[in-house]
Structure 1
Amino acid sequence: MVSNNYPDSEARGSSAIEARAYSKAAWRLLPFLFLCYVAAYLDRVNVGFAKLQMLNDLAFSETVYGLGAGIFFIGYFLFEVPSNIIMHRVGARVWIARIMITWAIISAASLFVKTPTMFYVMRFLLGVAEAGFFPGIVLYLTYWFPAVRRSRMNALFMMGIPVAGVVGGPLSGWIMAAFQGVGGWSNWQWLFLLEAIPSAVLGVVTLFCLPNNIRAARWLSEEEKRVLEANIQRDDAGKTHGSLGKVFTDLRIWKMAVIYFCCMMGLYGISFYLPTLVKASGVQGALQVGLLTAIPYAVAVASMFFVARSSDRTGERRWHFAIPAALAGVGLYASTQLTGNIPLAMLALTVGTAGMLATMPVFWTYPSAILAGGSAAAAIGMINSVGNLAGFVSASIIGWLKDVTHSTNAGIYCVSGALVFGAVLALLQTRQAARGSERLAG
């Protein structure tokens, strides 16, 4: 009896150690990384609120704003892959701290912008400074969590985007309403300064709180470390460990980059123009606009969590990406047809925002299902850099079309079409990556 039961007891003991180790890792890492992403996203998109006053103060056109908002992603594109490769080599602790402190300084310095050229330069430098943060954390999570847990972990980290909207909308609206003229500065100048402070503080904390890998985590026992490291080694078995040249010529990676580009068209169309779209629905006052922009992001928190959990539980990826992406495109299009009807316009914007953000945790299971090590670092950086060029494209297109047509509708149509196109591509062109995720999940 004892010998027959021993294997079961041993298995239960091993399972308990694994569960305890993953619980520790999740609670130690995800809340902190989540806070860092909230701060990062505030610094990236608070220009959408600054726009409400800055354009009048500086006599900028919508085209100037769109180009400046979007040029961030040129700097981001150029330095994304090198940044991720450096992080993989030197470790996340020092490199993520460097990124956060640098972007905080540049974001705060944006308050001194006076001319379009200065605006373009500061946005470009902000993109250079932040390059590598998001894909760096996506890569970092692959050091800790196997594929069967990764969509949920991605979701917990990426919820920083909608929570930044929930917190940042009212906060930015309040700063814009309360700080106009204080100390001789305009409200948008105070916005850039005050919202850079959390990033600087968290960057310093990162130096003391973020372990580079499982082996460096002092809060894990030796037994827990061995279990987690063994799981990652099994997870990496059979994945590609190729050269950088092979990564850049791998058709699967380029297909993922195109899909992510479509996804990011939606994200940055929403991020840079949601305050404008809410105001266009008939809402007046910066604080009121800020409060209402929190609604779509609050719903998106729930959509990200439930879609990611369902995707991990079933092992299915393609439809879990495609359906929210298509709904996002339909929701954004519908919002343009409901101008003047605040409740229905807000409902449409909420569907668009929640659907768009729900795609992100699921998408990032694709590259990590087929790549590992330096290949994964390069591929994740490349996909994210190419995809984020959509931030430049969407902001520039919407700004230019608004100057030409005196409406954001034409630009939003382009964004909606990109989201639906991305949904179709996900169903047609990601079968191999999806099968990889499903196989690992099984």
Structure 2
Amino acid sequence: MGKKVLIIDDETKMRRILQLLLEQSGYQVMTAKDGQEGIEKWLKWQPDVVLTDLKMPGMDGMEVLHFKNKAGLSAPLIILTAYGTIPSAVEAMKRGAFDYLTKPFDNAKVRAVVDRALREVNTKEEKPHTFKIVGISPSIRRVMEDMNIVANTDTSVLITGESGTGKELVARGIHRLGNRKDKPFVKVNCSAIPKDLLESELFGHAKGSFTGALSDRKGKFVEADGGVLFLDEVGDLPLHLQPKLLNAVEEKTITPIGSSRSFRCDVKIISATNRDLLNMVEEGSFRSDLHYRLNTFHIHVPPLRERKEDIPLLIDYFLEHFCRKFGRTTLEIEEKALKALTEYSWPGNIRELRNMVEQLVLRCREDRIHFSKLPPQISGEGSEGLRQTSQEVETKFDLISQEKKLILDALRKTGGNQVQAAKLLGITRNTLRYRMKKYGIK
């Protein structure tokens, strides 16, 4: 039998549309016309995923979410919302909702979000310290969608992005979501291993093949057989090793150093780098044929300064994590402090933000984190005017340029069709036309 999905919505037509869509996708579906009936069916039927409308008479979606949290129900809750209530949906995610879908729905997106919710439920055996991808910005949602697209394929993936953006988190997420999730995930940091040892690390060696080779060694390709081999900092791979890696990727075969035997290796290759590989190809320090092989599917992880709407969600997430880790009740954060943290440019990206929240939790002796406890580079003490003028202008420019780029991309993908572009962006056509006029887009 298919997995069970509960739909809670006061609109009969909407319930029926979603029911037919999900039943055609192989799910068992039950519906409820309001929050109270939904909770009763949730407790009796024990669904695997729940979709609830946000705005309903009587018990609304936020109250359903509150009940889920209070009762400790494990099924992921997906919020259904109209465009005008997106801020409320974001608030719901901060309180524990899995994701939200904007009406009118794209059928493929509904299936994708429900499928992702089910797959995350099936991988709940994660270690407690494992972090997850958090965010509602268009750029990070595209990353999540791309992860789902490529997870169940053998296609090689190249993940790019600045240091600290979460490239390894994306790689591990692809592994957990895919059909290789029960097989090994093997990481090789190409920049951390001495160049003269990297070949042995990747491909293994035979006993006696060089000084110090006292026994046979399998190598990371063989260790990852059936699973995923993650080549972190692949831009630092020495040029002399690149032909051997290319052969291994193309032929799915490796030959250990000093051995006459070759071994078949069924591995999915995921690579990551913060370097410009195309520029390296032009300079001759990275092979173009290897670049093409590794870059079959490209995922770019945006820097934190380009997804500022995600910063409050990330702060809440890390606050909860570190308070639990250090045995504290969850701390609140002063609004002025949250504003300063959101406006900061975070050159170290999520890694810097995570470390900062950990430090704030450790140092805080009250039940709230105050603005005065922030470090000078964030609070701007002694240079308040300069911090506000330069950073707020930079932030405003970032958001405007990103929004304009998203609109242009959507129009390009839809061949200039404004109705389809608006649907892709999750906004109304009137809103799209207003923003096109605002940015001089014709």
Q: TM-score, normalised by structure 1?
A: 0.21
Please identify which structure carries the higher strand content: 2
Q: TM-score, normalised by structure 2?
A: 0.21
Structure with max Cα Rg: 2
Higher relative contact order structure (alpha carbons within 8 Å, sequence separation ≥ 6): 1
